Amino acid sequence: MLLQHQVLFEQGRPIHRAYFPHDGFISLVTVFEDGPIIETATVGREGMVGNPLFVENKASPCRGVVQVPGRCTVITARALQGAMADSPTLRAVINNYIHAFLAQTMQTVACNATHSCEERLAKWLLMSADRVSSERVPLTQEFLAQMLGVGRQTISTVAGKLQSLGVIEYRRGKLAITNRRALERVSCDCYGVIRDAYESVLPLTYR
């Protein structure tokens, strides 16, 4: 069981295990020297955390932190590498996942530089709901501000606007999507691009 805010590995340090979430989700975040933290990818039941295990430099380029707690299968690096060597099917599935994961990461970088906070928050909420298979996600303003790289007041303003539009309900760290179709219209196109990238290689991801 993974606990909320549990740090699985630190930026710049070796990764010794891979994590396969069954529910909940894990955020991969970049930590800057002067303090700011911003999310670069989200991983839920569709994938795994521990990609640097597959290259010679096993130091992680980011921090892995649990944002929504849940069950998870954990396997050592050696065991996973051995299983992949023995199973072409497993190797193909993980390679497909890494392809989609890289597409998500690159799209997120472009999204952070281009789209408004309102669009990015809508996209993030949709992706989070997909990963926990629920329209209710336990989130705080402080957490959302860190993930999107903005101030808490900005999140408060944007969340209040979305609530006034009737697409979400937000109370004391508990957020519920009340009109998914409308929230998708608020979101930038990045949500669909990332979703399609996963479904093209892992067709059961969003079903």
CATH 1.10.10.10 intervals, the chain? 116-187
Q: How many CA atoms lie within 13 A of 102 on its CB side?
A: 8
Output the pLDDT for position 105.
92
The tens digit of pLDDT for each residue in 42-53 reads: 899 989 998 767
Report yes or no on whether pTM surpasses 0.95.
no
Rg of the chain (C-alpha set): 17
* CA 192/CA 166 separation, integer angstroms: 21
Which residues make Cβ contacts (< 8 Å) with residue 13, sequence separation at least 6? Answer: 59, 60
* CA 26/CA 45 separation, integer angstroms: 10
Which residues make Cβ contacts (< 8 Å) with residue 166, sequence separation at least 6? Answer: 178, 179, 182
Backbone angles phi, psi at 185, to 5 degrees: -70, -30
Start-to-end CA distance of the chain, whole Å, equals 24
Output the pLDDT for position 134.
83
Backbone angles phi, psi at 2, to 5 degrees: -95, 140
CATH 2.60.120.10 intervals, the chain? 7-112
The tens digit of pLDDT for each residue in 90-122 reads: 999 999 999 999 999 999 989 989 999 999 999
DSSP string, 27-69: EEEEE-TTS-EEEEEEE-TT--B-GGGGSS--B-SSEEEEEE-
Check whether domain 7-112 has CATH 2.60.120.10, yes or no: yes
Backbone angles phi, psi at 30, to 5 degrees: -95, 130
Check whether domain 116-187 has CATH 1.10.3720.10, yes or no: no
| Residue 116: other Cβ atoms inside 10 A | 11
Q: Does position 55 have pLDDT exceeding 80, yes or no?
A: no
Output the pLDDT for position 14.
87
Which two tokens mark 74?
Answer: 């954990």
